[in-house]
Amino acid sequence: MRIETLSVFPEMFEPVMSTSILGRARRMGLFDFHAYDLRDWTHDRHRTVDDAPFGGGQGMLMKVEPIAEALDDLIARGPRPHIVFFTPCGTPFSQKSAERLAKRERVLFVCGRYEGIDERAYAYADERISLGDYVLTGGELAAMVVTDAVVRLIPGALGDEMSSVDESFSTGAGGGLLEYAQYTRPADFRGETVPEVLLSGDHAKVAAWRRSNALERTVAWRPDLLEGADLTPEERARAADLLRAREGAPKDEGGC
């Protein structure tokens, strides 16, 4: 897989792309990364990429010409990239979006700055992604977040092939639920003990406990996920019981 970014701060990417799992995956050749400097497609002495918005208003906008020239050039290098623009007006990013992007051969992220991008540049967008309902100063951090979420799904990127399939939101074995609670040594920490079943060595019982715990946590913290979750009829009935029991109970703020 090839991941590329187009931005005015290409130097922001290297530390993240060469560290930890991303760095290892890149060194293993599981993905190839390149950050392009949008200013390389300007033609004036000041390498101008922004201008004042028509109609007035505060701040500056990213001009359409450098973006269009850069994208024409990068597209021509082939194969045709899947072009993603980052904007708060986009579709909220999710694990499903990451799973979809991880199947692409070449993905090109366009990162905005200032007050955003001239609307005509979006003609190049295959999709617009938002990280959430808040405003960042630029799209570079969004590109790093999405790259991290995508790369860890590439087979071989994580040491343990299974470790991405039953995580929170995963449409794999996790069934779209939050992840179950996890514990490591010591088995007793200041009187707080680990559930007995996890010490039993009985894999079937451990799997059943985890599934049940994942369902309970999802009901408590993210009931909105239940509708799209892959549940058996028995689990759906249990979720409905748990939801009824929670009505009127004090709110649990969660946190896994």
Q: How many Å separate Cα 10 from the centre of its chain? A: 20
Interface with ligand SAM (CB under 6 A), residue total: 20
**In terms of CB distance, is 11 or 252 closer to ligand SAM?**
11
From the CB of 88, what's the least distance to ligand SAM, in Å? 4
Smaller CB distance to ligand SAM: residue 119 or 160? 119
> Judged by CB under 6 A, which of 15, 57, 79, 132 binds ligand SAM?
132
Please say which residue, 117 or 214, places its beta carbon nearer to ligand SAM: 117
Burial 43-57 (b: 16+ CB within 10 A, else e): eeeeeebbeeeeeee
Q: Which of 29, 44, 134, 188 binds ligand SAM (CB under 6 A)?
A: 134
| Residue number, 18 or 137, with CB nearest to ligand SAM | 137
Alpha helices, H only, the chain: 14-17, 20-27, 64-76, 95-101, 140-151, 203-221, 233-246
For residue 87, state whether it binds ligand SAM (rule: CB under 6 A): yes
Task: Provide, rounded to whole angstroms, the least separation between the CB of residue 74 and ligand SAM.
Answer: 17
CA distances from 123 to 10, 11, 33, 67, 226 (A): 23, 27, 24, 11, 36
Binding to ligand SAM (CB under 6 A) within 59-78 occurs at none
- Nearest to ligand SAM by Cβ — which residue? 112
Mapped onto helix, strand or coil, the DSSP state of residue 120 is helix
Say how far residue 223 (Cα) sits from the centre of its chain.
21
Candidates 8-16, 136-144, 158-166, 168-176: pick the segment binding ligand SAM (CB under 6 A).
136-144
Q: Contact 129/85 with Cβ under 8 angstroms?
A: yes
* Residue 138 binds ligand SAM (CB under 6 A): yes
Spatial separation of the C-alpha atoms in residues 202 and 197, rounded to whole Å:
8
Cross-strand partners of 108:
4, 83
- Pick between residue 147 and residue 213 the one whose CB is nearest to ligand SAM: 147
The answer to the question of residue 176 lying near ligand SAM (CB under 6 A) is: no
Residues that bind ligand SAM (CB under 6 A): 86-89, 111-113, 115-117, 130-132, 134-139, 142
